[in-house]
Amino acid sequence: MKNNAPLHLRVSQVMLDLDAPPEALLPALARKLGADPAALENLRILRRSIDARTPRREPPRLSFQVSVTWNNAPSKLRLKDRDIEILPPAEASEENPPAAPQHRSGFAAQPIVIGAGPAGLFAALLLAEAGAKPLLLERGANAEKRAQQIAAFWQNDQLNPESNVLYGEGGAGLFSDGKLTARSKDKPRVRRFLAELVRAGAPEDILIDAHPHVGSDALLRIIPQLRQRILELGGEIRCETRLDNIELQDGRLRAIHAGDQTIRTDHLILATGHSARDVYHMLHARGVLLEPKAFAVGLRLELPQAAIDRAQWGNWAGHPQLGAASFWLTRREEGSLRACYSFCMCPGGSVIACASAPGALTTNGMSSSQRNLPFGNAAFLVPVTPKDYPAEQHSPENPLAGCLFQERMERRAFELAGNTYRLPLMRLNDFLAQRPTTELPPDRSCTRAIPADFRDILPVSLLETLRGTLPKMLAQLHGVHPQETILYAPETRSSSPVRIPRDQSMQSLSTPGLYPCGEGAGYGGGIVSSALDGMRAAEAITT
């Protein structure tokens, strides 16, 4: 048979047993292609995941997507298998190459970035790489100091309204699971983002894992490295410096007020995150166009991680290649019940109290890189729209009504907790029976909790949906029992209730020179999407 030039392939669903050694991948690929292993070169893993579709009948397996060069491939090769794709020459050498920053200098005034969460950090990084020498301002403390402040909050209610679980370098995601799930099809920027994290100390596995995560402990090491890189490239960073106001001339941004300084700028990237409500109020007062946005509210559910592992991995739970299992559950609208979905699942983690202002309380989840604690948790959320707001808040003139809706629940939770930052807690069985929980379960991740009745916190319509959907959703996790499940309330900060409309140049529709981005502007939904949005904002300025 006549042979062709080498073929460059992308091959999916190359399967290995859990205990197979790494060197077993090449023979498995050769069998799938029907090729001589000696003819395969440049094997590179693009993606790794776990296939556990039938864990009770068959053990989970490792599934790989790879790229490879097949030398002397048959000239009449017919690729009927949808798992096998011939790569074009541009993709053969390096799949999804990172985008290179455009170099630009000579700004009339220094570009400013507000907020050092994922969007702000990566906007500042790209601006610095392009030679723009940005100034990054963050109201909270740097990551190291912030960690100490948050420890004091969790231990004895010492809340710093300017630097807390929701404000500070690293953003709200610094104290989370560090999930790097990317549903974006913008592969070059995703690859670039992940590569920067690896450069800053993240494990290389995040480049290939289907569901990568780094954990809060690792993020506390990674964020300072990103900070240092921005500084080395000529950027400037000031923590504990809050944006107080913006200055406009003929509707265009001309300066900002931060602390006791007025700083001139024509380019302001606003990446404050979805909890900086004072910034929304300031923008509204200055005439910046804002609009209400649908979001979601609910509870955080906790159950033994061992039960989650058994539900997902069957008899193979505990295998070292599998680690702590996660889940993603959804329920469509059904009669009077709204849709419901799980969000921000933290395997082997803990439930944490959050606050950004005195007298208000919300919740979140957090995991370390090892995900080795005895409980897993996830938010269970119900969508809300402006129609759910009280009549006195729901009006076209009040784009901040969603913030007031959140605050109302958070203040009720604080009052129910005895004017402390202990989290209100209910057993699932009590919640379903509509009776208050009177005693704390001894086994739980959040030690500072208080037994409660959520009817005093969440609106009736949301409670009805959660009571009607939670049992059906948990039934999908075979072997999970309501009596071992705990609920914490409220989960209110899953996304922003406000959007700052912008045009194709990434600038505010009402205020040229203002570049709103990330979750706080209503355009991100997690660490990765927020970082990518910040990158696009920086590129809009430098190109």
- Decide if 347 is inside a domain: yes
Looking at the fold, whether 425 and 527 belong to one and the same domain comes out as no
β partners of residue 94:
none
CATH of the domain at 15: 3.30.70.2700
- On the 0-12 / 13-18 / 19+ scale of CB atoms within 10 A, 128 is buried
- Decide if 477 is inside a domain: yes
pLDDT of residue 92: 56
pLDDT digits (tens, 9 = 90+) for 72-86: 887 766 666 789 998
CATH of the domain at 142: 3.50.50.60
Q: Residue 300 sits in which domain range?
A: 295-393+400-491
Q: Which of 31, 79, 101, 8 minimizes the C-alpha distance to 534?
A: 101
Residue 543 has pLDDT above 70, yes or no: yes
The stretch 129-157 carries a mean pLDDT of 97
Secondary structure of 319-344 in the HEC alphabet?
Answer: CCCCCCCCCCCEECCECCECCEEEEE
For residue 217, the SS3 value is helix
The stretch 47-65 carries a mean pLDDT of 87
Looking at the fold, whether 332 and 478 belong to one and the same domain comes out as yes
Give 401's Cβ-side CA count (13 Å radius). 20
- Decide if 98 is inside a domain: no
Q: Give the confidence band of 1 by pLDDT, cuts at 50, 70, 90.
A: very low
Looking at the fold, whether 14 and 122 belong to one and the same domain comes out as no
Looking at the fold, whether 82 and 14 belong to one and the same domain comes out as yes
Looking at the fold, whether 420 and 444 belong to one and the same domain comes out as yes
Following DSSP, what letter does each residue of 453-508 receive, concatenated? -GGGTS-HHHHHHHHHHHHHHHTTSTT--GGG-EEEEEE--SS-SEE--B-TTS-B
pLDDT of residue 283: 98
- In this structure, of 96-110, 162-176, 270-284, 302-316, the range with the lowest mean pLDDT score is 96-110
The stretch 459-473 carries a mean pLDDT of 97
Q: Give the confidence band of 183 by pLDDT, cuts at 50, 70, 90.
A: confident
Looking at the fold, whether 444 and 305 belong to one and the same domain comes out as yes
Q: Which of 20, 27, 98, 16 minimizes the C-alpha distance to 68?
A: 27
Looking at the fold, whether 254 and 309 belong to one and the same domain comes out as no
Looking at the fold, whether 508 and 405 belong to one and the same domain comes out as no
pLDDT digits (tens, 9 = 90+) for 497-536: 999 999 999 999 999 999 999 999 999 889 999 999 999 9
Which pair of tokens denotes residue 105?
């200098």
- Decide if 530 is inside a domain: yes
CB 303 within 8 A of CB 486: yes
Quote the CA–CA distance of 271 and 537 in Å, as a whole number: 10
pLDDT digits (tens, 9 = 90+) for 317-338: 999 999 999 999 999 999 999 9
CB 47 within 8 A of CB 70: no
CB 183 within 8 A of CB 524: no
- Decide if 516 is inside a domain: yes
Residue 45 has pLDDT above 50, yes or no: yes
For residue 318, the SS3 value is coil
- Decide if 97 is inside a domain: no
CB 428 within 8 A of CB 470: yes
Looking at the fold, whether 475 and 525 belong to one and the same domain comes out as no
Looking at the fold, whether 405 and 301 belong to one and the same domain comes out as yes
3-state helix, strand, coil in the chain (%, to 5): 30, 25, 45
pLDDT digits (tens, 9 = 90+) for 120-140: 999 999 999 999 999 999 999
The stretch 7-21 carries a mean pLDDT of 95
pLDDT of residue 259: 86
- Decide if 99 is inside a domain: no
Looking at the fold, whether 327 and 273 belong to one and the same domain comes out as no
Looking at the fold, whether 278 and 143 belong to one and the same domain comes out as yes
pLDDT digits (tens, 9 = 90+) for 210-235: 999 999 999 999 999 999 999 999 99
Question: Average per-residue pLDDT in the chain?
Answer: 93
pLDDT of residue 102: 64
- Decide if 237 is inside a domain: yes
What's the pTM value of the predicted model, to 2 decimals? Answer: 0.94
pLDDT digits (tens, 9 = 90+) for 344-387: 999 999 999 999 999 999 999 999 999 999 999 999 999 998 88
Q: How many domains does the chain have?
A: 3
pLDDT of residue 96: 53
Quote the CA–CA distance of 218 and 153 in Å, as a whole number: 21
